[in-house]
Amino acid sequence: MPARVERTSEAEGPHQVLRPHAEHAFAAELAALAARDDRPRPARWKLSPWAVATYLLGGTLPDGTVISPKYVGPRRIVEVAVTTLATDRALLLLGVPGTAKTWVSEHLAAAVSGDSTLLVQGTAGTPEEAIRYGWNYAQLLAQGPSRDALVPSPVMRAMTEGMTVRVEELTRIPADVQDSLITILSEKTLPIPELGQEVQAVRGFNLIATANDRDRGVNDLSSALRRRFNTVVLPLPASAEAEVDIVTRRVDQIGRSLDLPSAPDGTAEIRRVVTVFRELRDGLTSDGRTKVKSPSGTLSTAEAISVVTGGLALSAHFGDGVLRPSDVAAGVLGAVVRDPGSDRVVWQEYLETVVRERDGWQDFYRACREVTA
């Protein structure tokens, strides 16, 4: 039964955990924004919509405080998402895997409610109790149905406290469980028929759901449920420069959390990984001259971040600390070749027709050939 996550004690501190929640990792930025935010705030919001958008997109405050960007993409997308949460419409973040849907939803919840831990993780086995409520069966058997025996879901907690709740991978959840959200989103009410009662959402309540385009046909949303959402599509980075910037920032953040030394001159290898992923993803080389076959995987920005992080760990622990082609080659191979039968042919053809002939890429070509052989 999903439950609200207990917070780390002050003695331990947020930097002792492997991945601090957004409200902990960026507490200083949130506090700086709140202290200087004099714009109207919706009920129970920690920041105004303008400050929430600034927190996600980054900027510099009048006193010189720098707010780091959490999302690199069109500003209007963030503005529409934030505005949706200020209305009575729920927000659905849609996109292919690796477009930062979960990352954006976490930071939105942190900025709006100061708490990103009200979360339902969607899977094929997610029960209706994860969205509605469950029961403490020992107390239920001893005393019968009562509010004390009821175990609230994260959604129910958000309704009673006026908070933002997150539902990840909505289309992974069985359709009949998905539809338990319809009354909650349309009537802002959660009936408890066992007690003849209901929970009504207080002002400030809203819901952010995420779903990816590749899950179409798994558990498609019913038209009734889809109408309850305002859908915002998160695109892949529009340019190679934007994607390199995203990968560089996230690798740096992850590297610091893992105590990995920053790799000097690592941008060249990051750019190579991003270029390979974009060309195979688009089916066309960056100069527009050569068509290439695309493998079965998504080759998303998130996978590029994983490949570079793995390469950084290799260079730190088994190399000289400089990120080299040999550090990322195995990771690239693993990301590209998901189906050994067809993807290996695609990858070898790309290596021989594109990478081999590209100026300045001979070291990358040799490293990739070595792990591919």
For residue 123, the one-letter residue type is T
- End of a domain among 206, 233, 260? 233
Distances (CA, A) of 228 to 163, 171, 182, 206: 18, 15, 7, 11
pLDDT at 191: 96
- End of a domain among 190, 213, 233? 233
Q: How many domains are contained in the chain?
A: 2
Over residues 68-110, the pLDDT tens digits come to 999 999 999 999 999 999 999 999 999 988 889 999 999 999 9
Q: How far apart are CA 296 and CA 34, in angstroms?
A: 45
Q: Is residue 28 part of a domain?
A: yes
pLDDT at 121: 96
Q: Is residue 83 part of a domain?
A: yes
Q: Are residues 180 and 254 in the same domain?
A: no
User: φ, ψ for residue 234 (rounded to 5)?
Assistant: -95, 115
User: Higher pLDDT residue, 17 or 337?
Assistant: 337
Q: Is residue 80 part of a domain?
A: yes
Q: Are residues 325 and 229 in the same domain?
A: no
Q: Are residues 62 and 149 in the same domain?
A: yes
Structural domain range at position 159 = 14-233
Residue 307: which of 331, 290, 288 has the closest Cα?
A: 331
Over residues 291-350, the pLDDT tens digits come to 999 998 889 999 999 999 999 999 988 988 889 999 999 999 999 999 998 999 999 999
- End of a domain among 192, 212, 233? 233
Q: Which residues contact 33 (CB under 8 A, 6 or more apart)?
A: 47, 51, 54, 55, 61, 67, 111
DSSP 93-105: EEESTTSSHHHHH
CATH number of the domain that 18 lies in? 3.40.50.300
Q: Is residue 110 part of a domain?
A: yes
Q: Is residue 7 part of a domain?
A: no
Check if the beta carbon of residue 99 is closer than 8 Å to that of residue 301. yes
Q: How far apart are CA 91 and CA 201, in angstroms?
A: 16
Mean pLDDT of 41-56: 97
Q: Is residue 8 part of a domain?
A: no
pLDDT at 216: 58
pLDDT at 98: 83
Q: Is residue 311 part of a domain?
A: yes
Q: Are residues 169 and 105 in the same domain?
A: yes
Q: pTM surpassing 0.85?
A: yes
Q: Are residues 158 and 195 in the same domain?
A: yes
Residue 176: which of 222, 207, 217 has the closest Cα?
A: 222
The alpha helices in 131-239, defined as continuous H runs, are: 137-143, 154-161, 175-178, 181-187, 223-226
The two beta strands, 150-152 and 164-168, are: unpaired
Q: Are residues 341 and 215 in the same domain?
A: no
Q: Are residues 288 and 318 in the same domain?
A: yes
Q: Are residues 267 and 333 in the same domain?
A: yes
Burial grade of 24 (CB within 10 A; 0-12, 13-18, 19 or more): middle
pLDDT at 298: 86
Q: Is residue 310 part of a domain?
A: yes
Q: Are residues 229 and 283 in the same domain?
A: no
Q: How far apart are CA 226 and CA 229, in angstroms?
A: 5
Q: Are residues 293 and 191 in the same domain?
A: no
Q: Are residues 140 and 214 in the same domain?
A: yes
Over residues 196-254, the pLDDT tens digits come to 999 999 999 999 999 987 655 577 889 999 999 999 999 989 899 999 999 998 898 88
Burial grade of 324 (CB within 10 A; 0-12, 13-18, 19 or more): buried
Q: Are residues 277 and 295 in the same domain?
A: yes
CA of residue 157 relative to chain centroid, distance: 22
Distances (CA, A) of 268 to 9, 132, 321: 40, 49, 15
Residue 155: which of 136, 174, 175, 127 has the closest Cα?
A: 127
